[in-house]
């Protein structure tokens, strides 16, 4: 049982004092292959100079636009986004293979040369369902003038710094009592540092951004990685909720969306945090879609899947102890790009202690506080995905 406030000599766990019958303390931890603070321990970190951090993200200009009017066999039509359409570009109508040459652009209205390159003009009607066309290049005449330029303009993303604080304390009397578990100050410090790490880890994953005033002073909390992915995800299918039977085809469609984007200069790989329930579902899906051949004399049976090899990329599966511990996050699979995560520190973790430096102001107790002021960036929300509600595996129909 946790003891709040000053750790007094009679507030310890029964049996830890010498002379009591107990000789050891067994501490339970939730299971998991991902160590606490796994997110930050191996990820890049960078200093900060303000309580708000800002970074810019650019979406790749794909060259795909949609015709939204009925242009039939005419030479002009409206598209949904002409910001990257300029004269001299060549497009192909995805549905029928006709090539279009862009003669001019006025607002969202494009004037085309139809049937470019000897292709056959076909009626195009985007008034009901938009008709996608894809840029395949550009061509210009000899001695042509400067073409119209266009460029990516990044959008700013921001997060707040969050102050984490966890304290420890022990009375002078508690220090004098001999405990089988060792020095009471060292034990309390160790526990406080563990709680500090856990609180940071929870916020790194599930934090929510807020700003205001507490006790008349500025107060801030940060968005965690899951919140950032959910808020900024725009790829269809990459944030998925599957609350009933989960089939391999469901997961395959999810993974295609997750791996469809990568961060420039980074390997297209992912790490996935989950609980034991998700590992069980994935293992049973593998069984349902496999042939098991048991022979006489076999003494071992089963699957241990910790790496998920797909045609699109490889995912390393790690069970997270906090996800095993929290009922609210059971059945969730968080697929993250390791190269997208960066921690930012305004103040690195440090300890303020009043144990032997003469600053206890007469208090007959030693105490200290661990403090960290930090935030986290998930750069590239489209590279991550969240699959929730995995509880029951199902075979393909």
Only one residue has tokens 């993250």, namely: 336
Choose the most confident range, by mean pLDDT, from 170-174, 180-184, 301-305, 334-338.
334-338
263 & 377 share domain: yes
Mean pLDDT across 321-335: 87
Which of the four pLDDT bands, split at 50, 70 and 90, describes residue 394?
Answer: confident
199 & 299 share domain: yes
336 part of a folded domain: yes
- The residue among 302 and 219 whose pLDDT is bigger is 219
Which of the four pLDDT bands, split at 50, 70 and 90, describes residue 20?
Answer: very low
Q: Are strands 245-246 and 314-319 parallel, antiparallel or unpaired?
A: unpaired
| Percent with pLDDT over 90 in the chain | 29
pLDDT for res 141: 93
Helix residue ranges per DSSP H, 126-247: 172-176, 184-206, 225-232
Mean pLDDT across 256-262: 85
115 & 256 share domain: no
pLDDT at 113 over 80: yes
pLDDT in tens, 192-224: 888 888 898 889 999 999 999 999 999 999 999
pLDDT for res 169: 85
252 & 282 share domain: yes
pLDDT for res 375: 94
48 & 68 share domain: no
126 & 171 share domain: no
| Percent with pLDDT over 70 in the chain | 79
222 part of a folded domain: yes
pLDDT at 354 over 60: yes
338 & 360 share domain: yes
pTM: 0.75
Query: Looking at the DSSP assignment, which residues form a beta bridge with residue 324?
Result: none
pLDDT at 13 over 70: no
Domain end call among 138, 172, 188: 138
Here the tokens at position 193 are 């540092």
Q: How far apart are CA 218 and CA 213, in angstroms?
A: 5
pLDDT for res 203: 92
- The residue among 140 and 188 whose pLDDT is bigger is 140
CATH of the domain at 344: 3.90.1690
DSSP codes of every residue in 268-280: S-EEEEE-HHHHH
Here the tokens at position 176 are 């004098």
**Which residues fall within 8 angstroms of residue 97, CB to CB, at 6 or more apart?**
119
What is the count of structural domains for the chain? 2
Identify the domain containing residue 260 by its residue range.
38-57+157-393
pLDDT for res 313: 87
Q: How far apart are CA 152 and CA 133, in angstroms?
A: 20
53 & 68 share domain: no
- The residue among 143 and 188 whose pLDDT is bigger is 143
Mean pLDDT across 62-76: 89
pLDDT in tens, 25-54: 454 556 666 665 666 565 677 888 889 999
224 & 371 share domain: yes
pLDDT for res 185: 78
Mean pLDDT across 167-193: 77
Q: How many residues does the chain have?
A: 397
Q: How far apart are CA 62 and CA 65, in angstroms?
A: 9
- The residue among 356 and 166 whose pLDDT is bigger is 166
Domain end call among 90, 106, 138: 138
Q: How far apart are CA 40 and CA 191, in angstroms?
A: 19
Q: How far apart are CA 98 and CA 275, in angstroms?
A: 50
Q: Are strands 124-125 and 333-336 parallel, antiparallel or unpaired?
A: unpaired
Which of 102-116, 157-171, 176-190 comes out lowest in average pLDDT?
176-190
């Amino acid at each position: 049982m946790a003891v709040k406030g000053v750790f007094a000599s009679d507030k310890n766990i029964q049996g830890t004092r010498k002379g009591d019958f107990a000789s050891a303390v067994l501490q339970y931890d939730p299971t998991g292959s991902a160590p606490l603070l796994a997110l930050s321990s191996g990820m890049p970190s960078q200093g900060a100079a303000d309580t708000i951090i800002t970074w810019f993200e650019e979406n790749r200009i794909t060259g795909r636009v949609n015709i939204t009017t009925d242009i039939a066999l005419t030479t002009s039509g409206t598209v949904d986004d002409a910001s990257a359409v300029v004269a001299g570009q060549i497009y192909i109508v995805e549905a029928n293979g006709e090539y279009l040459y862009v003669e001019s652009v006025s607002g969202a209205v494009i004037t085309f040369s139809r049937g470019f390159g000897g292709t056959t003009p076909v009626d195009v009607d985007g008034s009901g369902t938009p008709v996608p066309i894809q840029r395949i290049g550009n061509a210009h005449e000899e001695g042509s003038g400067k073409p119209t330029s266009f460029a990516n303009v990044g959008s700013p993303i921001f997060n707040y710094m969050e102050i984490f604080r966890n304290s420890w304390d022990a009375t002078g009397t508690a220090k004098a009592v001999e405990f089988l578990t060792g020095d009471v100050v060292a034990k309390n410090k160790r526990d406080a540092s563990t709680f500090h790490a856990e609180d940071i880890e929870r916020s790194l994953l599930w934090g929510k951004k807020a700003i205001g005033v507490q006790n008349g002073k500025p107060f801030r909390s940060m968005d965690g990685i899951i919140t950032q992915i959910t808020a900024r995800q725009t790829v269809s299918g990459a944030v998925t909720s599957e609350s009933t039977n989960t089939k391999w085809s469901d997961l395959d469609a999810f993974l295609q969306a997750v791996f469809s984007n990568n961060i420039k200069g980074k390997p297209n790989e992912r790490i996935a945090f989950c609980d034991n329930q998700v590992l069980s579902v994935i293992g049973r899906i593998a069984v349902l879609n496999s042939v098991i051949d048991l022979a006489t004399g076999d003494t071992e049976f089963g699957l241990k899947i910790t790496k998920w090899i797909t045609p699109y990329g490889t995912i390393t599966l790690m069970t997270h102890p906090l996800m095993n511990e929290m009922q609210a996050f059971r059945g969730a699979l968080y697929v993250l790009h390791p190269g997208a995560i960066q921690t930012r520190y305004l103040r690195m973790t440090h300890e303020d202690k009043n144990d032997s430096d003469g600053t206890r102001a007469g208090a007959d107790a030693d105490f200290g506080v661990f403090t960290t002021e930090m935030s986290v960036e998930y750069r590239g929300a489209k590279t991550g995905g969240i699959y929730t509600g995995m509880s029951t595996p199902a075979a393909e129909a």
